[in-house]
Amino acid sequence: MMKKVTWMLTVLLGVLECSFCLGQEAAEVAGPLKIGVVNVSKVLTECQENLDREKSIQEKQDQIKAKIQELETEANEIRNELENVLKPGSPESAARMQEWFNKMALKEAYEKGQMKSLETDTQVWTETLYQKFLDEVSRMARQKGLTLVLNKDEMSVRQRNLDDLLSMIRSRRILYSAPTLDLTAEILENLDKAYEKEKAGK
């Protein structure tokens, strides 16, 4: 186990060292760059448009759950009749049994259909929000004369296990950035302002 851990760390550090060297070479060739950083996750999760969307999704999910519960209650009532009231094998029992099957099929179809619709809508909405974010990043980069804008990922060094820690180390791209390079607050503020104007215009 110790050899495996040592081997993983050796390979990982080798990859990181190689990446650092390539970054140095690129910088020497291209010359000084004007760079900005943005915490993409923070902007997309904390912007007002996303907060409103989350509230809307929760309301929609509550409506779906309520409808599913209604269908389940109706199906259970039929089942109770079949088990405790109606005579097994009677025409009435057969008819109610078919109603129970239909009700359960309706519940399953409704649940799957609503979840699929919600998933599709969320994907389209997320794509739209992300494009707005990219457009704002591009606009600000041009305004500030930036050559490159990078994602500032904030990851905790404390992880649940070694595999998670190694994964975090491998995926982390920015080890340090000066606060003056951080565009997160400005991007977030501008997106919120644009969203308020969009809502006011509806």
Instruction: Provide the percentage of residues in the chain whose pLDDT is more than 90.
Output: 53
pLDDT digits (tens, 9 = 90+) for 30-43: 557 899 999 999 99
Find tokens 């991007």 and name the residue.
Answer: 187
pLDDT tops 50 at residue 193: yes
Closest CA relative to residue 37, chosen from 190, 126, 146:
146
pLDDT tops 50 at residue 65: yes
- The DSSP output letter for 147 is S
Contact status, residue 36 vs residue 148, Cβ threshold 8 Å: yes
pLDDT digits (tens, 9 = 90+) for 136-156: 999 999 999 999 999 887 766
Half-sphere exposure (Cβ direction) of 174: Cα atoms closer than 13 Å: 19
Phi, psi angle pair for 148, to nearest 5°: -150, 135
Confidence class of residue 85 from pLDDT cuts 50, 70 and 90? confident
Phi, psi angle pair for 13, to nearest 5°: -65, -35
pLDDT for residue 173: 73
N-terminal to C-terminal alpha carbon distance within the chain: 61
> What is the value of pTM for the model shown?
0.71
